[in-house]
Amino acid sequence: MNKEIAISALAAHYGATDAKVFAAPGRINLIGEHTDYNGGYVFPGAIDKGITAAIRLNGSDRIRAFAIDLNEHAEFGLQEEDAPTQSWARYIFGISRELIKRGLPVGGFDTAFTGDVPLGAGMSSSAALESVYAFALNQLFDGRFDKLELAKAGQATEHNYCGVKCGIMDQFASLFGKAGNLILLNCQTMEYRYYPFHPEGHRLILLDTQVKHELASSAYNERRQSCEAVVAAVQKRHKDIAFLSDVTFDMMYEIQDEISAEEFRCARYIIEETERIMKVSVALELNDYETVGQMMYETHYGLSHLYEVSCRELDSLNNMAKACGVAGSRLMGGGFGGCTINIVQESLYDTFISSVNTRYFRQYGKIPKIYEVVISDGARELC
């Protein structure tokens, strides 16, 4: 459906009838939150929602782009001074520039794109947009870049053209995604391994609080500073330590009197989260979703009470899941709003959703948006 929409829009706006069509997905992260910038592991997977783009080379040095869902058009060149003003267009411009910097001879093209990954719900619609154009341009201009280099180009787009100092997880998952598998990614070394994800008798559900508190950006920076302070203190005794994910509890107790209580709590969460990720990797191979779910609840507790990045809406949804007997639930993403990710038994699904809608509306005057997702393939050419 999205493929036909993109092709039709390209033809209508730019007269293109010989388009190539590409797709790239959004992502979820099962466990491993705030571990990426601490040099730890994450456990993402691509989902069956993303961005679809129709593209035709136009033989010029200009890009003409149409955002179908926004009904907006942009046209711009390929030099630094040609950067467009629309935020969505800057992603296309930025990925083009990053590939040019890496030696790809990107020329002008016409494009139209559409998406079904929800905006602002923590499923990385921006990474999907970067990844679909990174993958497409690499194909169309005979590039030889591997997926890791394309992911790095996407991350650099966020840093250099969109003002977001993100990690690489989102772009990595969008490009490396594999149906039926999650990805255990070491954010220090970029080593990765696929793990089977077949939760038979369960559904993977995201519940969107529909809130985002102002505290989010400032608190994110504060948590990073706390983690960096702990590493700096540990390095006085252990010079080989570069990231908090490499710190042990023994090291923590050595410096406990040199750091604040908040810094100690943050470090405790990261160390415990690393242990949980390893337990989940074993549990997935055994199809042990009881253990996976238990680790998710423990992660939420740590994010709420140790790392302190939750909010009352997220805690409410987590408590509702636990009260209904849902296998696993936790907040997903930076915190202070956004979604919880839930592994819900089929037998509990209707009761759970009904209970959540009723109780959440009673507390907050709204009902959460519900997204069911399936773990799917990464960026690819459709035709």
> CA nearest 181: which of 162, 199, 203?
199
CA 226 to centroid of chain Cα atoms: 23
Tokens at 54, concatenated: 């129709």
- Please, is 257 exposed, middle or buried when counting C-beta atoms within 10 Å of its C-beta (0-12, 13-18, 19+)? exposed
> CA nearest 122: which of 44, 225, 66?
44
> CA nearest 120: which of 358, 336, 342?
336
Q: What percentage of the chain's residues is helix, strand, coil (to nearest 5)? A: 45, 25, 30
121-171-120 Cα angle (round to 5): 15
Distance CA 374, CA 197 (A): 10
Residues forming a β-bridge with 21: 54
Sign of the torsion formed by the C-alpha atoms of 75, 81, 85 and 90: positive
Q: Which of 18, 48, 146, 170 is catalytic?
A: 170
**Is-catalytic flag, 170?**
yes
What is the C-alpha R_g of the chain?
A: 21
> CA nearest 135: which of 44, 143, 308, 377?
143
Backbone angles phi, psi at 35, to 5 degrees: -90, -20
Distance CA 235, CA 272 (A): 20
Sign of the torsion formed by the C-alpha atoms of 135, 139, 141 and 144: positive
Torsion of CA 138, 144, 148, 154, to 10 degrees: -30
> CA nearest 42: which of 176, 178, 184?
184
For the chain, what is the total number of helices (H) and then of strands (E)?
A: 11, 13
Distance CA 299, CA 312 (A): 16
Active site residues: 170
